[in-house]
Amino acid sequence: MTGRPELGRIRRALAADGEPLDAEELLDVLWLAARLPPSAATALARAAALAEPPAVDPAHRDADGSTPFAPPSPGHDAPDLATADTEPGPVLRPAGDTGLHAAPLVRQPPARSDRPAMAVRAPGVKALGGAELRLGRALRPLKQMRPDFLRSELDINATVTAMAETGLPEAVLRPATTRWLDLTVLVDDGVSMLLWQGLAGELRRLLERCGAFRQVRVHGLGTRGPTGPRLRSRPYGASAATLPLSAVLDPAGNTLLLVVSDGVGRSWRDGSMHEALLRAASAGPTAVVHTLPRRLWAGTGIGARSWRVTARRRGAANRSWHIEDPLLPPELAPFDGVPVPVLATDGDVIGTWAQLIGSPGETAVLPLLTPPPGTVTAPPPPGSPRRDRTVGAREAVSRFRHSASTDAYRLAAHLASVAPLPVPVMRIVQHAVAPAVDTSHLVEVFLGGLMHSADEVERPPHQRAFDFTEETRQILLGTVPPAELMRTTRRVTAHLSELGGSPADFPAWLPHPGGEDRVSADSRKPFGWVGETLLRRLGVSPPDVSEYETPLPRNDELRPLPPGPALALHMTRWRRLTVSDQRFEGRWALPYDVFAEYGPVESGVFLAHDGEGRLLVIRRPGDEPDAHALIATEVLALQRMNGSCSPLLMAWEPDHERPWHAVLCALDDPTQPAPDLHDFTVQHGLLHHAGLLTVARQLATGLARAHELGLVHGALTSGRVLIAGRDAQILGWLTASVDGMDSRYWSVHRQHPRYRAPELNDATEGPTREADVYALGCVLVEAAVGQGYHGSPSDALEAAREALEPAFIGILRACLHDDPARRPPALQLRRALDSLAGQETDPFTVALGFDADLDSVRLDLRGEPGGGDGPHLLCQGRPAQVRRDLLLGVLEQISRQAGRGVAFVLADFDHRSGFDRFARRPGDVSFLGLRQGGTDVLALGDLLRRELRRREAPDARGAYGQDRPPLLVVAMDDFPRVHRLAPELHTVLREVARAGGRLDIHLIMSADHMDLVATDNAFVSRCARVDLLSRTAEDGALALDGAVLHIHSEVGPVYFTTGHESAVAADRHR
């Protein structure tokens, strides 16, 4: 849009209200257009064309009744969600609610996106909270009376007595009684004390109502000036006239002086305030109320230490107290502080102090003011000019993080999400944060150097707003999960509703067409939302939304992509939306900027961003009667899964008129959303053993966790498995069963028959855990052989024999068993897959197969002294090819796990062993095809004899240049035929069999049943044995029925499957 015709069209559209824009205003509009989201929060988007979105063609619905994301291919379900390790931004806006703003805008000229607003009085949070009642009780000792010699009153009893005695009408007068003390409260009114303005006001009202004081006077106390502490006529007043502190001292000693401060001012740190309090302590009772919690006192100019205090008379001046250390004698610990108690607002110390003041001869232990700490630079409060060097946002946040508590750092992120905001709103947000934080954490944030004044004009103290810099805000928002920020906003909204009938505490601004002020249309500005009920309580009639909206001409321009790397959506099933799409306007507005939808037709799955580089996937069904139940079920399931092999839920609104939820979007690469398993295999080809095993382990882990949490997916397909790099996630929990309760809509949205377990063909049966395992097996078979196979998934396994290991085929066959009782649980399936992936750390523990419970049958080839079942292994029986495959599998595991720490000596009779794959390893020796005899047979015997001598030598370790000789594996196929080739070879093999466990030599051999006698003599009964169980099939060929492991232990024979069995045989022995 750089040409002049387009620019002129923009200017005419913006000037449609009769107010043409000058050049500067046009630049402002263009700058805002590049940054504001194209949603209901912007004027241009709200005024977009009102065309109805295209309806879904009923012909495009799946066989299961759900709306697809794309025209489905046979057996393909489109993905339901996508995820990534990113975060959402703006807070959620409840439907139909009005944003509550902390302050109006004062910018000139007004922006086009500004909305008229009116001021209301909003309820706030009490600073004292539950401590108010305790404080009132603690002050009871001060409720005393004294005679007033300036006023007289009639003594009725004395008058009656005198008239009875004299008979004369004689009035007897006595001094009138009055309350014991006057009270002067000095409120430190610096910028940092804005946080405690509410506390000071509540404390003043409490002191006025307690009935203990004749007169209560309140003054402002300035402690930030270079001339020492000065008084003003009232706290937070704008008057420039000041008085010294001596102006409020009472020489008669009948006035209690109470100073309320946070100790941040300069006068507290240079000692001038301590000197003034010392003079006040000579005139009458004096105390300091510290607004900060005790754990923060050390960082202020008001320090305290406990002393034992004795008051000689009630209401005595502090200088007359007798003060001593609670433990040490006076000569060892003389009092060197200021005799002014420092009181917290929790009520305990205040009660002790009041008892001391109101009782003669009373003794108590009180915290007394310590001498000034010396010349210490006070931290600049928010809004004050900094004198130190300017620091960047990252450095400032880093400083704050290292000095503040964890809870304060978390609270700062919550405040940044709704800033700018005044102090009353800060307290509301603080009370809404969970886990709970207290006022001390708010103090850390307020005085931590991150906030600054956001006011452009002078405002009353309780209306002064504070904000974070934009860079600081972005850093803080990245430290707290967006779901937690959203929950806090919900609690603020709920709290405002609860306080709807409470007295008003501070002003706030509501968008309203009849208002005289203005607020921004930015959706991040409101700190809370108020519904129609609370609006009426606040005395405001709900505004008519139509008054805000002015339709503009239709615009078919595509919605902008998020900033950052350009997304290649043309390579995926995602479809860009137009600016004129009205599904996200007005009452249907979402808190994110939606720019794409999955599939060529309306699917209810959208791609969105938050304007800060984070990508989200949102599911919002259309006008479906079951939408609320489906979204509520999926939200509950995703909450329980918590991102474990599933999308990570970030925001949700299941009770909305159009329910929705949002998850984080996973990217296959920085420019492309992750595809589902079906699309992944179409783009990159079928999965082979390593990739398929990785996906299978993750999916089994996800199902195992779901079943453990009381969830049954019930609709697993290849379209509901997301592949993002090396991670796999399970999607589509809309109809999941929760805690044994099946979804009422499962039969309507059930999975494609290709993935459906046989027992679920009956419509009366609901989803089960066993059916999930069956569906997982179908998904893995499809990923290995593709969707084009014919027959059942079990039949398709035959086509994958060359691509997959036999053990993996055995696991898949167990998952696809027709009898659900024979299928392994997901947890057991995960353990079997982990075992197949070679997770054992012992290099000489190998997996042979799986038993009837699908537990891995493992063999420890170490000798009996080392706790193993070896040191040798004999595999015997037919078919010969199965025997050799089992032997090769053992060697493969040893090679993979031990690496360079093992050497192989390989021998066979007729080149049919398959040992060629190991013959290329450096350092290994092979003697293949020995049936001709000759020198190779003798060389094999000489090699083994030399190896025995080297390992038996005293300096065997030094001969190998390491701590111990490497493990030696002697592998022989058709062992009886090989060892008969030469008597010398037979002799050395017997020696190896006897000494192998001691010398780390292992014999791994195979033989037919016909050679059992010769084999047993050569091994001298020092080996584990695997016997293959075979039978003669109807066609005369040998068929394997399983295998049995015999080891030298109390454990009996262990039957297992190797993966080479026929389906019938595997079922019979499982």
Residue 747 is inside which H or E element, if any? Answer: none
- Residue 573 sits at the vertex; the CA angle it makes with 571 and 576, to the nearest 5 degrees, is 90
- Do residues 721 and 605 lie in contact, with contact meaning Cβ atoms separated by under 8 Å? no
By the 10 Å C-beta count (0-12 exposed, 13-18 middle, 19+ buried), 642 is classed as exposed
What percent of the chain stands above pLDDT 90?
9
Residue 224 is inside which H or E element, if any? Answer: none
pLDDT of the residue at 524 = 47
- pLDDT range class, residue 958, cuts 50, 70, 90: very low
Dihedral pair phi/psi, residue 721, rounded to 5°: -125, 120
Cα separation, 941 vs 949, whole angstroms? 13
Tokens standing for residue 512: 């309203």
Q: Which pTM value belongs to this model?
A: 0.47
- Do residues 183 and 213 lie in contact, with contact meaning Cβ atoms separated by under 8 Å? yes
pLDDT of the residue at 115 = 64
- pLDDT range class, residue 179, cuts 50, 70, 90: confident
Question: Does residue 828 have a pLDDT over 50?
Answer: yes
Cα separation, 979 vs 972, whole angstroms? 9
Question: Does residue 769 have a pLDDT over 90?
Answer: yes
Annotate 81-149 with DSSP letters as a single string: ----S----SPP--TT-EEEBSS----SSPPTT-EEEEEEEEE---SSTTHHHHHHHHTGGG--EEEEE
Q: What is the rounded average pLDDT of the residues 29-41?
A: 54
In our burial notation (b when 16+ CB lie closer than 10 A, e otherwise), range 157-171 reads: eebeebeeeeeeeee
- 31-45, 65-79, 101-115, 483-497: least confident range: 65-79
- For residue 1044, the one-letter residue type is V
Per-residue model confidence as pLDDT tens digits over 338-392: 899 999 887 678 888 988 888 888 899 999 998 876 544 445 555 554 444 456 7
Question: Does residue 957 have a pLDDT over 60?
Answer: no
CB atoms within 10 A of CB 62: 17
Tokens standing for residue 234: 């009232």
Distances in Å between the Cα of 786 and the Cα atoms of 52, 69, 497 are 40, 21, 56
Question: Does residue 278 have a pLDDT over 60?
Answer: yes
Question: Does residue 455 have a pLDDT over 80?
Answer: no
Distances in Å between the Cα of 578 and the Cα atoms of 408, 603, 693 are 43, 16, 42
Query: Average model confidence (pLDDT) for the chain?
Result: 76
pLDDT of the residue at 642 = 86
Up-side HSE of residue 692: CA atoms within 13 Å toward CB? Answer: 26
Cα separation, 895 vs 1004, whole angstroms? 13
pLDDT of the residue at 68 = 34
β-pair partners for 565: none
* Best CA proximity match to 695, nearest among 663, 671, 718, 668: 718
Cα separation, 136 vs 119, whole angstroms? 35
Distances in Å between the Cα of 69 and the Cα atoms of 79, 80, 632 are 8, 8, 21
pLDDT of the residue at 54 = 38
Cα separation, 306 vs 326, whole angstroms? 8
pLDDT of the residue at 86 = 35
Per-residue model confidence as pLDDT tens digits over 522-536: 444 566 666 555 565
pLDDT of the residue at 122 = 62
pLDDT: which is higher, 900 or 723: 723
441, 446, 451, 452: CA torsion to nearest 10: 170
- pLDDT range class, residue 709, cuts 50, 70, 90: very high
Q: What is the DSSP letter of 243?
A: B
pLDDT of the residue at 42 = 38
Dihedral pair phi/psi, residue 208, rounded to 5°: -70, -35
- pLDDT range class, residue 67, cuts 50, 70, 90: very low
pLDDT of the residue at 342 = 92
